[in-house]
Amino acid sequence: MTTNNKVCDGNTVNVHYVGTLSDGTEFDNSRTRGEPITVVVGAGQLIAGFNDALIDMSEGETKTFTLAPDEAYGPRYDDRTTTLSRTLFPEDFVFEANMKIPLQGPEGPVISTLLEAGEDEITLDLNHPMAGKDLTFEVEVLSIEDTDG
Spatial CA neighbour of 56 closest among 9, 1, 2: 9
CA distance 67 to 59: 22
Ordered domains of the chain (ranges, CATH):
11-73+131-146 (3.10.50.40), 81-125 (2.40.10.330)
Structure confidence by residue, pLDDT tens digits, 136-146 = 999 999 999 98
Give the model confidence (pLDDT) of 31-70 as tens digits: 999 999 999 999 999 999 999 999 999 999 999 999 999 9
| Residue 39 CB contacts under 8 Å (≥ 6 apart), including other chains | 12, 13, 15, 45, 46
pLDDT of residue 148: 61
Q: Are strands 121-125 and 81-85 parallel, antiparallel or unpaired?
A: antiparallel
Please give the model's pTM, rounded to 2 decimal places: 0.81
Taking each continuous run of H as one helix and of E as one strand, the counts in the chain are 2, 9
